[in-house]
Amino acid sequence: MARRDVEFDAEGVTLRGWFYTAEGASGPAPTVVMAHGFSAVKEMYLDAFAEVFAAAGLNALVYDNRNFGASDGEPRQEIDPWAQIRDYRHAITYAGTLAETDASRIGVWGSSYSGGHVLVVAAIDRRVKAVVSQVPLVSGHDNVRALVRADFLAGFREMFDNDRLARFHGDPPAMVPVVDADPLAPSALPTADSYTWFTETGKTRAPSWRNEVTLRSVELFTEYEPVTYLPYISPTPLLLMPALGDHLTPSELAIAAFDLAHEPKKLSILPGGHFDAYVDGFDVSSGPARDWFVEHLAP
């Protein structure tokens, strides 16, 4: 499996990652652009997906989001969904400059938070010729209300407001854990399976992952509504893959959002929970994604 380190400019911020060369390609080949979800870094199984795509004759460009992992950007550990969307588009531009890439056959893949990003990118960037969205966030408004008790929401808003005032006065951004062993403790992703997956995967595969994000990242999460872009993806082919037992980005939200998209589209409901798509259910999630890209990016 041929893989090389790459870096590219995203309007003044250097993003770094890997480029996987399509196996068996004798000339420019389709390329899948990939980035990870909320706070995750590329070592958290994106290499496994890229290897599946490369084995099927697809190049894969995998990179760390700005402010995370190997990529530059400040403030560190801050997630701005719209900045990440713009970076997907910078990555598409960069991929198109590579000799290995057929710029007329580029797809985007995203998972969880970036599963929402690719819905937006596919709707607004017609260079995208196929999109796969795995266990996606589709509505920050609805998702936060599925994760956070109603009587806790006012406390979060007070924290956001206090942080905004502190930043105005020049203080560094407030930080919050991504996950916590106690689901009722303040954290960005307050589910038990989030804690297990991030802590275990961080130890075994991704020592650069840090269990913190800026509090503003959580505020931006609550304002983010990829669902509004679903009707505009067509005629780009869309594969949406929610997980049946997902309670981090609840499957019922994604399934309802799928109804807003127009053809061509396909709904593939994965077994298991949110994080099974990366581990125990990897073959079930990576196989349909690979087949979708092969079908719609083939010559």
pLDDT in the model for residue 151? 86
Average pLDDT over residues 196-210: 96
Structure tokens at 234: 């067509």
Whether pLDDT at 1 is above 80? no
Q: Are strands 59-63 and 101-111 parallel, antiparallel or unpaired?
A: unpaired
Q: What is the DSSP string of 199-268?
A: HHHHHHT-TT--S-EEHHHHHHHHT--GGGGGGGSTTS-EEEE-BTT-TTTTHHHHHHHHTTS-SSEEE-
pLDDT confidence tier of residue 216, bands split at 50, 70 and 90: very high
Quick: pLDDT tens for 263-296: 999 999 999 999 999 999 999 999 999 999 999 9
pLDDT in the model for residue 155? 85
pLDDT in the model for residue 32? 98
Q: Among 3.40.50.1820, 3.40.50.1400, 1.10.3720.10, 3.40.50.300, what is the CATH number of 3-139+226-297? A: 3.40.50.1820
Cis geometry, peptide bond prior to residue 235 (ω within 30 degrees of 0): yes
Quick: pLDDT tens for 60-116: 999 999 999 999 999 999 999 999 999 999 999 999 999 999 999 999 999 999 999
Quick: pLDDT tens for 135-190: 999 999 999 999 888 888 888 899 999 999 999 999 999 999 999 999 888 899 99
Q: How far apart are CA 176 and CA 212, in angstroms?
A: 5
pLDDT in the model for residue 130? 98
Q: Are strands 29-34 and 59-63 parallel, antiparallel or unpaired?
A: parallel
Between these two residues, 153 and 55, which has the higher pLDDT value? 55
| Domains in the chain: boundaries | 3-139+226-297
pLDDT in the model for residue 150? 85
Burial 242-278 (b: 16+ CB within 10 A, else e): bbeebebbbbebbeebbeebeeebbebebebbbbbbb
pLDDT in the model for residue 13? 98
Q: How far apart are CA 199 and CA 217, in angstroms?
A: 20
Mean pLDDT, the chain, rounded, equals 96
